[in-house]
Amino acid sequence: MANIEVKKIINPISASDGAGVKLKRSIGVEPNYFDPFLMLDEFGSDNKDDYIGGFPAHPHRGIETVTYMLQGEFEHEDSTGAKGRMKSGDVQWMKTGSGIIHSEMPAMSEGKLHGFQLWINMPAKLKMSKPDYIYIDSNKMQVHIDNDKRVKVIAGKFKNTEGPVKSHNVEPIYFDIELKKDKNFNFELPLNHNSFIYLIDGEIKIGEQAHNKIKDSTLILLTKGENLQVSALSKSKFLLISGKPIGEQIARGGPFVMNTKAEVLQAVQDYHNGTFVK
């Protein structure tokens, strides 16, 4: 069984999106894409001025956005008429398909906001499908707990604990893992998946080969393999995310991700002439 090792360590860059929300971006910068993943942002601050502007109404086509709230609350509203409030620990898995216009605004005027948004590509055959959502309340997610670790399963399966996201074309794995100091996390990943770890807090070592120090808010791209071992050099919290590559051409224009430039231009035209939402 092939051991999984560190392929590349990437320090996120500071960025802003929406109406000035400050965030750390790690995928969508370097590398541009990690098939099927297109972007990963960590947003979080104790300062309301860093997030209070939120993400006013904006369009998407051809991607899935997975928003995971660790702390704080956001209100969501979109062109399908859907409304909802995300609370600490909740997940919103949105399949934008042929097109959706939505807003995500903080439902809080002060306090700490912390969370992640991941963009997943959609294959050509699904890019113009009807928009869809999976809303997952924190209290409906299964959690594995033992003496060494706590594993919250959003997608995939860890031992007897299974996530609510099933029958997905990229066969995703999405774990939120808390690992005690000097303890190990071991997991067998699909050999053909692209996988990464995003370290939130603490310090970890991955695999058996020596690598540079990995501490706090760091993206770690992993080699393909089956046997993943993570050792906690201090009490640590990290995300493990993995998915099957789609292997199609990618053309991106801002919030639109299609297969060709012509399709992106069509999305822009549809948005401006009022035919974007089907």
| CA–CA separation, 14 and 180 (whole Å) | 29
d(CA 214, CA 254): 31
| Chain segment 73-94, per-residue pLDDT in tens | 989 888 888 888 999 999 999 9
Domain boundaries, the chain: 6-273
Is 273 in a helix, a strand, or coil?
A: helix
In terms of CATH architecture, what is 6-273? Sandwich (2.60)
What gap in Å lies between CA 131 and CA 270, rounded to an integer? Answer: 16
Residue 31, pLDDT score: 61
pLDDT in tens, 41-57: 999 888 888 888 888 88
How many CA atoms lie within 13 Å of 9's alpha carbon, on the beta-carbon side? 15
What is the pLDDT at residue 89?
A: 96
Which residues does 138 contact at the CB level (< 8 Å), separation at least 6? 87, 88, 89, 90, 91
**Cβ-contact 120, 38 below 8 angstroms:** yes
Whole-structure pTM value: 0.95
Pick from 94, 82, 85: nearest CA to 118: 94
Tell me the Cα Rg of the chain: 18
Residue spans of the chain under pLDDT 50 = none
Q: Residue 117 is encoded by which pair of tokens?
A: 């948004």
